[in-house]
Amino acid sequence: MQRSAGRRSFGGNSHDRDRGSRYRRGVTTTDLVVDALFDRPADEGLTLALLVQQGGEIVAERYGVQPENVFQPEVEITADSTLISWSMAKSITHAAVGILVADGAVDVDAPARVPEWQDTDKQAITLLQLLEMRSGLRFEEDYVDESVSHCIEMLFGESGPSHAAYAAALPLDHEPGSHWSYSSGTTNIVSRIIGDIVCGGPGGDPVERKAAVHRFLRERLFDPCGMTSAEPKFDGAGDFVGSSYVYATARDFARFGELYRHDGVTDLGAGRRILPVGWLDHARAWAAHDDDNGLDYGRHWWLWPSLPGSLACHGHEGQYLVVDPSRELVLVHLGKTPAEAAPGLVRRLHAIVETC
């Protein structure tokens, strides 16, 4: 990627000043595609943060403005602003599983540790099938129609304190391993399994459980990566909502991407390994193709066929973290993009990657 001088801009007038200085010194290809991203029509969505790192160095960084709404006044987004992950958190859940695999605390090929599945037709579902979204469990992943959405009911409805218990109780519609279906409920089942291991068993006081899991994520994942801003959210049972809720800055999401680019080794602490050897390849092993978006799926990570060897976190409303090891590249996009405009956003992000 062509390095962009004066690359840090924090929205509004500073964006205009930055653009002026860039035109005086000469516009790079990267500048043009980033400008086009931030200047796209309103019906195509809003970019709040874009960060691109290559070889561990920031080569493009720009921030936007969160418009005024009924909940808050206009907010200028900066490098210190924490923004929601939505389903990018699923890949963070994959990392948490990896830590437990490295500890020898869990076997992904074994039946998942879900107590209520014992002696039922669900007891053969493996943790790997959960990570690949091939459990066979019913789950309607809809973000608009509340009447048909298990996701809305689980996260915002009257499904009970435990998101995992709600999802685990849904019917088995397909033989485990035979059918792929993207499911936030599946991830929250994995999150509860993580909590059970960390806490030494199921159940317990929700406050104590939350504290233990939060400490595990902080001490074993976020702190070693340098993700000081990262803040996970929990359900009423004290389990990490691994499907949807991690708040962090764009730079900290990029640090998470760098962890996978280096196959589980962080350059903090003199190259400390916190994920098993090969966990990058575990994440990007092909599991399914999604006809709806034309992309492939691995193990709680998406795969972009147009960027062979890459892997990506996707989140509702246009949250993306793209890791392309062959280019030594990590890209973070955070904002608000309607679902129908997502393919166009992916093309724009792909164009940015192609400048590298």
Give me the mean pLDDT over the 232-250 stretch.
98
Q: Is 24 left (phi over 0), alpha (psi -120 to 50) or beta?
A: alpha
Query: To which residue do tokens 């920031």 refer?
Result: 58
How far is residue 57 from each of residues 52, 242, 254, 273, 330, measured CA to CA in Å? 8, 29, 11, 20, 10
Question: Percentage of residues in the chain with pLDDT exceeding 70?
Answer: 90
Of 83, 98, 65, 3, the residue nearest 254 (C-alpha): 83
Q: Is the pLDDT of residue 322 over 60?
A: yes
Q: Between 272 and 323, where is the model more confident?
A: 323
Interatomic CA distance for residues 113 and 90, integer angstroms: 18
Asked if residues 248 and 231 have their Cβ atoms less than 8 Å apart, the reply is yes
Confidence band (pLDDT; 50, 70, 90) for 69?
Answer: confident
Mean pLDDT of the chain: 91
Q: Is the pLDDT of residue 158 over 90?
A: no
Taking only the tens place, the pLDDT of each residue in 8-46 is 333 333 454 455 445 444 567 888 999 999 999 999 999
Confidence band (pLDDT; 50, 70, 90) for 270?
Answer: low
Give me the mean pLDDT over the 325-348 stretch.
96
Look at residue 269 in the predicted model and tell me its pLDDT.
Answer: 59
Look at residue 250 in the predicted model and tell me its pLDDT.
Answer: 98
Look at residue 140 in the predicted model and tell me its pLDDT.
Answer: 86
Domains along the chain?
82-323 (3.40.710.10)
Amino acid sitting at position 113: R
pTM for this entry: 0.91
Taking only the tens place, the pLDDT of each residue in 92-136 is 999 999 999 999 999 999 999 999 999 999 999 999 999 999 999
Confidence band (pLDDT; 50, 70, 90) for 189?
Answer: very high
Q: Between 226 and 8, where is the model more confident?
A: 226
